[in-house]
Amino acid sequence: MDAYGTTSPVAPLPPPPPPLSIDTHCRVGASGEEGEPLSPTARMFHDLYIVSVVGLGAAIDLDPVRAGLEVTLAGHPRFRSVRVLDGPGPPRWVRTTVNLEDHIIVPDLDPAAVSADPDRALEDYVASLSTLPAMDQSRPLWELHVLDFPTSEAASAVVFRIHHALGDGASLVSLLLTCTRGGATADPKAPSAPDARRRTRPVYGARAPRPAWSAGAVALAAWAVSCALLAWHTVVDVARFVAMALGLVCDTPTVFTGVKGVEFRRKRFVMRSLSLGDVKLVKNAIGCTVNDVLVGVTAAALSRYYFRNLGDHDANKGTCLRSVLLVNLRPTPGIQNLDKMMESGKHNDLKWGNRLGYIILPFEIAMHEDPLDYIRNAKKTLDRKKHSLEAIITHVMTVMITKLFGIEVSTSLFHRVVSSTTLQFSNMIGPTEPIEFYGHLIAYIAPSAFGHPSALTIHWQSYMDTIRTILEVDDAQFPASHQLLDDFVESLELIRGATSTSFRAKVKD
């Protein structure tokens, strides 16, 4: 009996891993040097995993994939290192030799299940990954699962399962672009991806530059007021974050709230591709950002689901849900050159790893007659959040707490913050041009994560002219997960329609 109340075959779990490939007591890398110390964030994310489904435009040829992985992924320091957490010395990464056969998994699926409903077979298999035991710490913490059968959106698929200690979303999207280079003939030292975006200030916590003295008293006074507001917003936001970490403040329970122990329960990953052009049309009409639109669409979709499950549409019964938004603190947004991120040195601010800050992002749950109100309110919320140093301060706090009180304390506080919110939210910019995975044209990219104490995680991922909604849900708590996914599609359609109507009305006037 599956989550929808019907009997259907479920894809089996992958086979057990082969025998250990290295000595688990290794303390020194192959070069004879001590390993690189683990960052506080890498130590804190000890039970979190990233899972990313990559749809391909052709059947999988494993030979070029293996050859390509040998010179790209398996050749980069983090993905050929193991995590050493015990023994003398601090926790650290230690280099080892990668045996690809330990990391490439080709499961033996039920042909009848795949033939009857390939989309469901893919979904069931990805869901099964959330129930596997923790990764073997004696190997580099990544796997590539090969699913060589066609679905409605791709001719085949590969699924990355990667421990979150290896890096954040920005690092791993850059990693994916590394894997889009050639196979055995590729130069492992060649640039992995163009650093296409210019250097900018961080989006969150950006400060206006101080005007010149010649600008006049009014300009200087406005700048002083702006700095004072930045300080005030930071104090308020950090105080709320600390209160949630201490368990003094938490969201009101709703249909989206996870049960105790939700991080250990089976997760289902459902996804849908939407038009990035529709999102940009709304963005241009309202005068906001793509992220504003995505937050507004998310609020609209959650509101539809909430009130449908509540049994009425009384707007007075709305509420506010909060999420933990992980913010990339690198000074250059978007996709980075992986080789620059891998370079060590204190002057490299594009470093690989988890360069993350945390923001408590509220979502309005209400019924609006005008769908564009969701976008307008999302813009107000995000504009307010951008004028705060919350992301930077929370990152510094995480590092300092880990150094002063140990990883157990920082992990407990992080767990409590996430448990005090209702859902997780993320948005990643992807490639704008078609890319290949070792000779296989990529049809879509669908990343998500599991292992955190939330029943619902919402991830948006752009690729070319589409943007994909990926929902990670507690399989038992959300038996109608596809209905929730439909709410996202319908919400964007309603908001786009309202945008067109508003534009025509303005033209008529």
Which residues are known catalytic residues?
Answer: 164
CB 26 within 8 A of CB 144: no
Question: Among 48, 36, 110, 83, which Cα is nearest to 414's?
Answer: 48
Type of residue found at 125 = Y
Structure tokens at 160: 């990355």
Under DSSP, the state recorded for 74 is G
- Positive or negative torsion for Cα 445, 105, 183, 340: positive
- Beta bridge partners, 358, equal 326
Query: What dihedral angle (degrees, nearest 10) is formed by the CA atoms of 145, 149, 150, 156?
Result: 30
Spell 309-326 as b/e; 16+ CB within 10 A means b: eeeeeeeeeebebbbbbb
Q: What is the largest CA-CA distance in the chain?
A: 77
- Beta bridge partners, 163, equal 49
Beta-strand (E) ranges in 261-313?
267-275
CB atoms within 10 A of CB 138: 18
Type of residue found at 265 = R
Backbone angles phi, psi at 384, to 5 degrees: -65, -45
Beta-strand (E) ranges in 27-183?
36-37, 49-56, 81-84, 92-95, 104-105, 142-147, 156-163
Measure the CA–CA gap between 292 and 290, rounded to whole angstroms.
5
CB atoms within 10 A of CB 434: 12
Backbone angles phi, psi at 415, to 5 degrees: -60, -40
Measure the CA–CA gap between 287 and 147, rounded to whole angstroms.
42
Helices (H), 186-269: 217-245
Measure the CA–CA gap between 169 and 269, rounded to whole angstroms.
17
Measure the CA–CA gap between 388 and 206, rounded to whole angstroms.
8
CB 241 within 8 A of CB 398: no
- Distances in Å between the alpha carbon of 415 and those of 44, 163, 253, 260? 10, 17, 17, 12
- Distances in Å between the alpha carbon of 185 and those of 65, 72, 182, 438, 466? 12, 11, 6, 11, 31
Rg (Cα) of the chain, in Å, rounded?
23
